[in-house]
Structure 1
Amino acid sequence: MKYLFALVLFVLSITSNAQSLNGVVNSNGKPLSEVLIRDFTSKSHAHTDAKGKFVLENVQLNDSLEISKQGFITQKIKITSLDFLSISINEKPFLLEEVTISNNLRYLNTISKIDLEIQPISNSQDLLRKVPGLFIGQHAGGGKAEQIFLRGFDCDHGTDINISVDGMPVNMVSHAHGQGYADLHFVIPETVDRIDFDKGSYFADKGDFTTAGYVGFNTKNALEHSSLSFEGGQFDTFRTVALFNLLNKENQSAYFAGEYMMTDGYFDAPQNFNRINLFGKYSAKLNNGDRIALFVSHFKSQWDASGQIPDRAVNDGTISHYGAIDSNEGGNTGRTNFNLQYDAKIDENSQIKNTAYLSKYDFELYSNFTFFLNDPVNGDQIKQKENRTIVGFQSEYDEKLNENWRFKLGAGLRNDNNKDVELSHTLNRKSVLEYLSLGNVNQTNLFSFTSFDFTSGKWLINAGLRLDYFKFGYEDQLASTYTNQTQTKAILSPKLNFSYTQNTELQYFLKLGKGFHSNDTRVVVAQKGQEILPETYGADLGLNWKPFPRMIVNSAIWYLYLAQEFVYVGDEAVVEPSGKTERKGFDFGFRYQLTNWLFWNTDYTYTHARSLDEPKGNDYLPLAPVHTLMNGFSVKDLKGFSGSLRTRFLGDRPANEDNSVVAKGYCITDFSVNYQIKKVSVGVNIDNIFNTKWKETQFLTESRLANETDPVEEIHFTAGTPFNARLILKYSW
């Protein structure tokens, strides 16, 4: 009994002496969030909030503390005073040897983390370029969504690639310009925290548009510091970005981001481009372990464009390489988003992730691809316009059943209500000469999915099943009587994936999946519901390998079959079927850290893309990339300097079915350098440092100029940027 009494006294004495310790953690004078402070004596721990502050409970004099954060040198100290404690920790060099290969089917996300760490995003176009093998092309003055190329697909503006931000879809179904139109310009690059991507249709939680692959962007929940930057350069280019911390508590954070950009562009006719972005986000961790995040954003953009110009007009000196046939092209667009994420923790092994969103979107685009082919008097300018509302949600239940099994079950809905989807023949962006197509689209996608992960030793097997149900509705406003055409369709998409992780340096994987090619509502009603969700079948076989501590290699051979590729051509209001197709190829990625501050990365792809319904020699898929290469060297934190020299190469590719016309490739090198001194950084970005004259996008088009009597079919192109230098000043606090 006396021993028990002594033990109680001892515990009471410890409890009476234990106190709370307040402090702050910073690096180079900047507060650091999410720093872990651990007390080895009492086993208590705490994390710093967005202002770097923490409160550590049950602390006594002479306790040993460990202060750690990824990317920083871990520090150990002994408590000599219970007064307010200020701790400073230093960044450590990013080391590839600390990156290990884990038993994870989405290991490519590790590659994106490395690239973001080594090469921070400098503009909105760089967001998509972080996906190895993905190429983009801008051909409408900077305001239009980029054309996307991936795995032998000319994805147009997003037809065959699923893009999302914080779980909210970016792709627009049945868009006035084209199916899957994905305008990512509403995202402020500085707010992006992570990029989730994979190629192919191998995961049950990814559905519509996931043919060539998917890209999911995740925005930051909190800012480490506020900042204000100014960027100015050639062609009357100006950009400013402001990031402000609004709320900085241990379990809550809020910030605001704003961006304004304007430029006249490098074309002979000024582009008069301007864009404004506003973004606010609130995040909180609740007492029961649940997490909530809400963002609100608003985006508005307008521009003029020089469009696509014919080779012959440049070759005969009628216009320059940067000239225009119709300088009245251009447009305006806007998007307002509300996005809510709520993750509910059920217990230690299960949770439910929920996302709900609402978007209001408007779009108006003026183009002229054929000049005077159809209307020799007024010209062939067209207007594409729409006004849409998107609502949707997705819920996913995730439970770890035991050491070997993991189970997921999800469901969701997306509805697009698209009013006055218009294609019209116009004059000078003022007068409508003729309505070619005008109607209302209402499209709903209901879906559910489930998957099981089975882990045994070095093996991971993932099996999934997805069900998509679509209801397509189209009201033709040009019909003499009311007509509301509807069709419904459902499709099952099974998935089966394997990985064998031999050790932390080597992993093999095999991915198998069925998906579907996404189709426009106007295709569906034109086809009367027949073959409207054609199946896709794909397979990837590859490896992730660390042959040396500071080198990572990832490679895969792959195959993709499509039963049909119906395309609704928004520029002409017609449906174009292309029949069965197959694509197969090889991907290779390489990351190597030569020193603590010098990195080398390379991504190469080869693709063989053919139509299966056409005879050999006439079976090429127009504009499908064959060879792509991205190669770069980056410097990170060398005595305050960071920068990169990056080259991208897109090889020659067929422009028509018999490869008699070739879209010429290009090789462009960009350069950036930045110097950081305390709270101020100064940088220079240079696009096309060697001032190469190149064609960013190309199309084989039949057109007629004002002085021509007969039409001519040849390459039409949009010029790529020449040497373009910009100075960037940034202040952080």
Structure 2
Amino acid sequence: MAFFFSQVSFAQGPATLRGTVADSASSQPLEGVSVGLDGRPGGTTSDARGNFHLGGIAAGTYTLRVGALGYRAQALSVTLAAGETKRVAVALPTAALNLSEVTVNQPRDPNQSLAAISHIDQVLRPLSSAQDLLRLVPGLFIAQHAGGGKAEQIFLRGFDCDHGTDFAVSIDGLPVNMVSHAHGQGYADFHFVIPETVEQLKVYKGPYTARFGDFATSGAGDFVTKTRLEHSQAKLEVGQFDTRRALVMVDLLGAGHHLLSRQPESAYVASEYYFTNSYFDAKQHFKRFNGLLKYTGRLSDNTSLTVLGSRFSSTWNASGQIPERGVRDGLISRYGSIDPSEGGRTSRTNASAVLTTALRHDAVLRQQVYYSKYDFSLYSNFTFFLHDPVNGDEINQADDRHLFGYTGTYDRDTRVGRRTLHTTAGLGTRNDFSRVDLRHAVRRVITDTTTTGRLFEQNLNAYLDETLTLTDRLTVNAAVRADVFTFDFRGLLANDNSQAPEPLRGRVMHARVSPKLNVYYQLSPAVQLFARSGLGFHSNDARAVIRDATASVLPRATGYEVGSTFKPVPSLVVNAALWGLHLQDELVYVGDEGVTERTGPTQRYGLDLAVRYQLSRRLFLDTDLNYNHGRQTNAPPGADYIPLAPTFTTIGGLTYKDARGLSGSLRYRHIDSRPANDDGSIRARGYFLLDAVVAYTTPRFQVGATAENLLNVAWNQAQFATLTRLPNEPNAVDELHFTPGTPFYVKVNASMFF
């Protein structure tokens, strides 16, 4: 451990304390470390570069306390003279987990009120897939319904977000959601992320954060991959249903290179291969390859550069959604299929460069440019023989896309009298160029085309975010965001489903301004209160906007909540929020028909409760409880349900973690039964599942095992109310269709560190 101080300037008035926090072993800057002075309310957390700032301090001697989960807390005596600005560097050694060291001080990013909860989860929860990464968002549920290669269906805060319509996902500044996608608006395929490379998750619920625009209505998940590896790793996993996975992560410059180099730099490569036939009667032949290369270095004392490149490809067969009557009448088994020719392929290539420059007056300029090449082709059959009793209703949706973008942010702290004003200004553009197709097919042979055309969609955005510490306890965050969209679609087929004699073509521009206002009050070192409000939106599909001049383009979301993060006892961390959200128009893009369905305005209210408790030195308990009540506001009573919107969900577990290497976790998931259509006559069935993970880790190797669905419950994963007709069936039937969930499943893994 090392400390050093330097006096920079003296003047009359309050003193200022600035500093940095780093890992004592690797010298890596630490983000999210709690920093505060004894006897002085409030505090702060370190930023992405490990920097922290405490201002408006009266002259005197204080005890500076610095701590983070998984590190030994440090207490340091600091004497400040009037007007002095003092700098301190703190190096934290690792230590056993201790929740008593978690603080509820306001984070540097004030709207990340789940920071303490997320930090605990990242340390304790086992991860083995991209799906596990999404489940780190408290209260978020996912469902798969067309083979392992398709993006998951997302549920959060009473929203059936489909594949991402109302939940924004990003990784290293790259947007994951796809606008005007061939299958569904906001389609967020997260499978191109290798879970072992992810270092951090920031969770934002509700439309309260100016940095996020389109799709961030129920919330946003911001993931960040590691800057450098602690060690290289080779991992092998083997499981039931012909499942196998291989992972290699290699530090290219050596663990000690950044300590010896005058300009610290790091680089690593990671590669993943996954295969499974899954548990369905028809083998799924699901194959996935992921590759990642990331370099971080300093170009000068004030400038750093991060370059990232990644490649992802996947192919699979799918059994699709099946009707309850098909299983009940013995036509197929629970794991069978009506049309076994479903499935698809997809790929994504990403490139990104981030230039971060430290400017005068402690300002920071961050600029990022990125590019993605995306391909997607999906074969589905949701209605079976409803429209074509002879050949069936199989469709193909294809998306060939180029995505370019730029994001720039400027951060600066400014003194306003005795207080600190933190300013963030952002400017960005996203540009999607795509060829999208909707076609009919018979056993993956294209027969005719319904819609095809070239899409251009641009989003220009800017925001200003101001955070002012009015008192030692009270902080106000006010922000405004402006978005301008251009929708341009050039149809290549005259006979599309608009029934127009000419191809669907047009160009539409639309803008949206979204203000935010959030207040935080540090009642005591163990209690933080917050009240948040903001306007947000989700965009409509470009084809729907151009086809219908009266269509909702950027329907507004109005959100508000009150809550608290608090510690009733030192080892117990609780986050609670009572919230409401009103959506101007609920839009569902039906990619199967190439049209947008409008549900109309909706309102939702709910209560979120997250609890993290350390029962003993090695034993930890966690649970998330989420209640949601949602209705369509323009529909008559009894026919105003929001289809598939969850009412109650809960996730939790008991985790054992020994500093000597043994760890294990018993986890549960529960979602209640809920209406699958407007009047509730068809209901999606709830479930309760138990999973278990055990691992033994040493500095040289790790071995482990995972068991899913310990009770072997026959549960429905994705569920929909769908009108279908089966072979030789005289009339169509509207009933529940589902994708069966995983039965009891075991896999083992072994890793070597070098």
Letter in 2 for 1:428: R
Structure 1 residue 429 corresponds to structure 2 residue 444: yes
Task: State the aligned residue count.
Answer: 663
Q: Is the 2:540–2:552 contact (alpha carbons within 8 Å) kept by the matching residues of 1?
A: no
Structure 1 range deviating more: 198-207 or 402-411: 402-411
Letter in 1 for 2:553: I
For residue 51 of structure 1, what is the aligned residue in structure 2?
A: none
Pairwise CA distance, 1:300 = 0.3
Pairwise CA distance, 1:396 = 0.8
Letter in 1 for 2:476: I
Q: Distance in 2 between matches of 1:225 and 1:678?
A: 9
Report SS of the residue matched to 1:468. strand
Report SS of the residue matched to 2:196. helix
List per-residue Cα deviations over 1:138-170 (Å, max 9, x = no partner): 111100000000111110000111100111100
Pairwise CA distance, 1:285 = 2.9
Q: Distance in 1 between matches of 2:741 and 2:155?
A: 16
For residue 145 of structure 1, what is the aligned residue in structure 2?
A: 151
Q: Distance in 1 between matches of 2:595 and 2:686?
A: 29
- Aligned partner (choices 328, 333, 358) of residue 315 of structure 1: 328
Q: Is the 1:33–1:224 contact (alpha carbons within 8 Å) kept by the matching residues of 2?
A: no
- Aligned partner (choices 14, 18, 28) of residue 34 of structure 1: 28
For residue 451 of structure 1, what is the aligned residue in structure 2?
A: 465
The 5 Å alignment of 1:529-678 reads 530-637=551-658, 639-678=660-699
Pairwise CA distance, 1:681 = 1.2
Letter in 1 for 2:168: N
- CA change 1:148–1:513 in 2 (3 A) is same
Q: Distance in 2 between matches of 1:155 and 1:429?
A: 28
Pairwise CA distance, 1:289 = 2.5
Pairwise CA distance, 1:75 = 11
For residue 6 of structure 2, what is the aligned residue in structure 1?
A: none
Q: Distance in 2 between matches of 1:692 and 1:564?
A: 37
Q: Distance in 2 between matches of 1:182 and 1:210?
A: 12
Q: Distance in 2 between matches of 1:727 and 1:227?
A: 16
Q: Is the 1:242–1:259 contact (alpha carbons within 8 Å) kept by the matching residues of 2?
A: yes
Report SS of the residue matched to 2:461. strand
- Aligned partner (choices 426, 435, 438) of residue 410 of structure 1: 426
Letter in 1 for 2:741: G
Letter in 1 for 2:104: I
Q: Is the 2:117–2:610 contact (alpha carbons within 8 Å) kept by the matching residues of 1?
A: no
Q: Distance in 2 between matches of 1:314 and 1:111?
A: 42
For residue 230 of structure 1, what is the aligned residue in structure 2?
A: 236
List per-residue Cα deviations over 1:42-64 (Å, max 9, x = no partner): xxxxxxxxxxxxxxxxxxxxxxx
Q: Distance in 2 between matches of 1:373 and 1:466?
A: 46
Q: Which runs of 5+ in 1 are unaligned?
A: 1-24, 37-67, 77-88
Pairwise CA distance, 1:348 = 4.6
Letter in 1 for 2:431: N
For residue 15 of structure 2, what is the aligned residue in structure 1?
A: none
RMSD (CA atoms): 2.1
Q: Distance in 2 between matches of 1:703 and 1:726?
A: 36
- Aligned partner (choices 211, 214, 219) of residue 225 of structure 2: 219
**Superposition misfits of 4+ residues, deviation over 6 angstroms:** none
Pairwise CA distance, 1:576 = 1.1
Q: Distance in 2 between matches of 1:72 and 1:497?
A: 31
Q: Distance in 1 between matches of 2:68 and 2:607?
A: 38
- CA change 1:510–1:362 in 2 (3 A) is same
- Aligned partner (choices 136, 141, 147) of residue 142 of structure 2: 136
Q: Distance in 2 between matches of 1:687 and 1:154?
A: 24
Pairwise CA distance, 1:197 = 1.2
Pairwise CA distance, 1:659 = 1.0
Q: Distance in 1 between matches of 2:504 and 2:122?
A: 50
For residue 35 of structure 2, what is the aligned residue in structure 1?
A: none
For residue 103 of structure 1, what is the aligned residue in structure 2?
A: 106
Q: Distance in 1 between matches of 2:94 and 2:626?
A: 35
Q: Distance in 2 between matches of 1:116 and 1:718?
A: 30
For residue 54 of structure 1, what is the aligned residue in structure 2?
A: none
For residue 70 of structure 2, what is the aligned residue in structure 1?
A: 71
Pairwise CA distance, 1:527 = 2.5
Q: Distance in 2 between matches of 1:524 and 1:69?
A: 48
Q: Distance in 2 between matches of 1:619 and 1:107?
A: 32
Q: Distance in 2 between matches of 1:552 and 1:524?
A: 46
For residue 498 of structure 2, what is the aligned residue in structure 1?
A: none
The 5 Å alignment of 1:36-435 reads 71-72=70-71, 91-104=94-107, 105=110, 106-247=112-253, 248-250=257-259, 251-402=264-415, 403-419=419-435, 421-430=436-445, 432-435=446-449
List per-residue Cα deviations over 1:16-60 (Å, max 9, x = no partner): xxxxxxxxx999xxx745399xxxxxxxxxxxxxxxxxxxxxxxx
Q: Is the 1:489–1:529 contact (alpha carbons within 8 Å) kept by the matching residues of 2?
A: no
Q: Distance in 1 between matches of 2:94 and 2:430?
A: 44
Q: Is the 1:517–1:562 contact (alpha carbons within 8 Å) kept by the matching residues of 2?
A: no
Q: Is the 2:408–2:428 contact (alpha carbons within 8 Å) kept by the matching residues of 1?
A: yes
Q: Distance in 2 between matches of 1:416 and 1:437?
A: 18
For residue 731 of structure 1, what is the aligned residue in structure 2?
A: 752
Report SS of the residue matched to 1:532. coil
Pairwise CA distance, 1:540 = 1.0
Q: Is the 2:315–2:345 contact (alpha carbons within 8 Å) kept by the matching residues of 1?
A: yes
Pairwise CA distance, 1:404 = 2.2
- CA change 1:162–1:692 in 2 (3 A) is same
For residue 480 of structure 2, what is the aligned residue in structure 1?
A: 465
